[in-house]
A = this chain, B = another copy of it.
Amino acid sequence: MAITRPLSRGDQTREALISAALGVFGRSGFDAASTRAIADAAGVNQALIGYHFGGKHGLYLGVFEHIVGQMQQHMAPVAEEVVSRLADAPAGQPARRELAVQLLQSIFDAFNDMSFEHAPEGWVRLILREQQDPTEAFQLLYDGIISRMIGLVTQLVAMGSGLEQSSEACRIRAMMIFGQVLVFHTARGTVSRHLGWDPPGPDSLRALKQQFRLVIESQFPPGVVVP
C-alpha cells in the first residue's frame, strides 16, 4: 500500500477527471465522448483537461495508465503465488496436471472477482474497445498486464494438457479459456436475456465460478496426456 496523504487541489482535479473520464469514455468511446461531458461529470472546468493532460487524448492515455495500475494490484498476489508454486512443484506428470488445474482455477477466481466486483463499470468497455481497434493505449494494457496473464495461462495449459507451450494449439487453448469467462462481459446483452443476469449479482458470480471450475477439470481430465 502506498502512503496516502492530503492531495493538492491539482491532484484532486486530476483524479476527478480520470475517474469521470473512465465512465464517459467507457460508455461512449473516444470520439463520441465530449470533453464537456467529462468535465461536468468530474465537477471541473472544461479548460482544465487541456491544462492537466494536454488535451482529450492525453486524458485518455491517463485513464489507461490508471487502469493498468489497478489491474496489476488486483492480480499481482495470485500471479506471484502461481509462479512460486510452479517453481517448487514435483516433477511427476499426473501431479503436475492436477496442479495446473488448481492454479488455473485460482487465477480465474481472482480474475472473475476483479472483473465483476472491483472493476468500475468502465474498465471492461474501455478494454474491449481497445481490443477491437488497438491504439497507443492498447500497448499500455498489453505490456502492463495482458501479456503476463496470457503467458501464465498458456504455461498452465501446456502443463495440464501435455501440449508444447510454444505451439499454436496451446496458445489457442489459452485464448479459449479466457473466452469462457470474458463472454459474460462481451456478450452482455445475451447474458442479460438468456440468463436474466441484469446486472450479474453475487449469485451469478458464484454460479459462474463454479461452472468454470468444472469445465476446467473436464478439459484436463486425469490420466490423459495429449501427445
Q: Which residues in A have some Cβ–Cβ distance to B below 8 Å? A: 27-32, 125, 128, 130-134, 138, 142, 146-147, 150, 154, 168-169, 171-176, 178-184, 186-195, 207-208, 210-212, 215, 218-221
Q: Give the one of A138, A146, A187 with max B CB within 10 A.
A: A187
Q: How many copies does the complex hold?
A: 2
The residues of B that contact A182 with a CB separation of less than 8 Å are: 179, 183, 186-187
Pairwise interchain contact A212-B142, C-beta atoms closer than 8 A = no
The residues of B that contact A178 with a CB separation of less than 8 Å are: 183, 187
Pairwise interchain contact B128-A132, C-beta atoms closer than 8 A = yes
Pairwise interchain contact B31-A29, C-beta atoms closer than 8 A = yes
Residue of B nearest to A226 (CB): B214
Expressed in whole angstroms, the Cα–Cα distance for A109 and B216 within the complex equals 22
A128-B132, A218-B218 known; A180-B188 Cβ under 8 A: no
Pairwise interchain contact A190-B142, C-beta atoms closer than 8 A = yes
Given A29-B31, A215-B219, 14 further pairs, Cβ under 8 A: A31-B31, A31-B32, A128-B132, A131-B188, A132-B186, A142-B190, A154-B194, A171-B195, A175-B183, A178-B183, A178-B187, A179-B183, A218-B220, A218-B221
Pairwise interchain contact A186-B186, C-beta atoms closer than 8 A = yes
Expressed in whole angstroms, the Cα–Cα distance for A174 and B218 within the complex equals 15
